[in-house]
Amino acid sequence: MPNATGMPAAGPPADRTVSREIAVHTLRGEVGALLARAGVDDADVEARDLIAAVVGEARFWPSLHRDAMLRAEQALAARRAARARAAGAPFAYAVGRAAFRHLTLMVDDRVLIPRQETELLIDAVNGWVAEDPRRSGGIAIDVGTGSGALALALANEGRFERVIATDISSGAVAVARTNVARLASVLRAPVEVRAGALLAPVHGLQARVIVSNPPYISYSEAPALPRQVRDWEPPIALFAGNGGLAVTSALILGAAEVLEPGGLLAIEVDSQRALATADLLRADGRYDEVRIRPDLTGRDRILMTTRKDG
């Protein structure tokens, strides 16, 4: 389990005595055996992927470079990640990173692990901007940024003058700022991370786009979640009151005050709350037509609407 700092617990003191290089195939066998003893499925495949992630290579690199020699610190990092994985940590937390769009983000248990479904928000925003060149520029805001995934992807792929990310969690703000610093060289727009609830940190600004993957799971649904989600990912990023709609409702209310006329609001939802969220947008009266986009499995996932001109 994580320690008080939010990072996987450190390995035993014996790790510090390991100071020699090791061949990829030897380390893979060692790590695979540890994972197998812990009951991890497909332990050898996980060992391959874990080593690749730790050394920053493509997942098949360990198979193609069996005899390559890894530095002592790389082997140490792989062993620590393997022990965290064996203790039940999700893979992304164990290796300390996760892929999102074209980026690799540093993550730990202070932030939600970025999901493939959330990448659809970037597609939705990019498509909306591409429909009309006049939509380029302006400010994009990512509410509840977590690791900074959406904000950084918008700055990497989008056509905005500025991107601002907000989060109520001080831990998430720290992780997001680390990722901003690491990825600064690949960003087309500056990214600023601000601490605070929802849109409070951007009071007084007007945004062309607001995106968010807010917490939308009801507290009553916690027992049904996979253990790696329920026991490891931050509850503040998962759960919301009012049947899972409390945070989304507050976001809808506040976004209409921040969006410029014609500006886009794009929200991730789960399929069972998509229609209820669409009803909230329509009932507000300050938004135009609501569009619902499915994810790759056909489930309602992304809601898009624009601020009325009037």
Please report the DSSP string for 58-71 in residue order: -TTHHHHTTTPEEP
Encode pLDDT of 29-46 as tens digits.
999 999 999 999 999 999
CA angle 44, 45, 50 (to 5 degrees): 95
Of 66, 89, 112, the position where a domain reaches its end is: 89
125, 240: one domain: yes
Q: What is the pLDDT of residue 133?
A: 87
For residue 234, is it left (φ>0), alpha (ψ between -120 and 50) or beta? beta
Q: Which long-range contacts (CB under 8 A, 24 or more apart) does 103-107 make?
A: 103/149, 103/152, 103/153, 103/156, 103/183, 103/186, 104/56, 105/147, 105/148, 105/149, 105/152, 105/179, 106/147, 106/175, 106/178, 106/179, 106/182, 107/147, 107/175
pLDDT in tens, 102-156: 999 999 999 999 999 999 999 999 999 999 989 999 999 999 999 999 999 999 9
Q: Please report, in angstroms and rounded to a whole number, the separation of the first and last CA atoms in the chain.
A: 52
Q: At which residue do the structure tokens 């900074």 appear?
A: 148
pLDDT of residue 138: 97
CATH number of the domain at 287, please. 3.40.50.150
pLDDT on residue 279: 96
Q: 123 with 236, same domain?
A: yes
**What is the pLDDT, as a whole number, of residue 51?**
97
**Token pair for 37:** 């003893």
Distance CA 22, CA 206 (A): 55
What residues of the chain score a pLDDT lower than 50?
1-18
Query: pTM value?
Result: 0.89
Q: Are residues 133 and 51 in the same domain?
A: no
- Same-domain check for residues 162 and 218: yes
Q: Alpha-carbon distance 140 to 251, whole Å?
A: 15
Q: Are residues 83 and 149 in the same domain?
A: no
Q: Do the domain assignments include residue 127? A: yes
CA 122 to chain centre: 12
Considering the domain architecture, whether residues 118 and 254 belong to the same structural domain is answered as yes
Q: Centre a 10 Å sphere on the Cβ of residue 14 and count the other Cβ atoms it contains.
A: 8
Task: List the alpha helices (DSSP H) in the chain.
Answer: 24-37, 43-55, 61-64, 72-86, 91-95, 119-131, 149-157, 170-183, 227-230, 235-238, 241-244, 246-258, 274-284
Collapsing DSSP to helix, strand or coil, 118 comes out as coil
Q: Pairing mode, if any, of strands 191-195 and 162-167? A: parallel
**Domain residues for 247?**
98-306
- Sorted by sequence, the CB contacts under 8 Å of residue 96 that are 6+ apart come out as 81, 106, 107, 108
Fill in the DSSP letter of residue 41. Answer: T
What percentage of the chain exceeds 90 in pLDDT?
92
- Residues 24, 54, single domain; the answer is yes
Q: Does any domain span residue 7? A: no
Q: How many domains does the chain have?
A: 2
Are 45 and 175 contained in the same domain? no
Find, among 265, 266, 268, the residue nearest to 244 by Cα: 268
Q: Are residues 112 and 210 in the same domain?
A: yes
Last residue of a domain, one of 41, 62, 89: 89
Pair 62, 118 in one domain: no
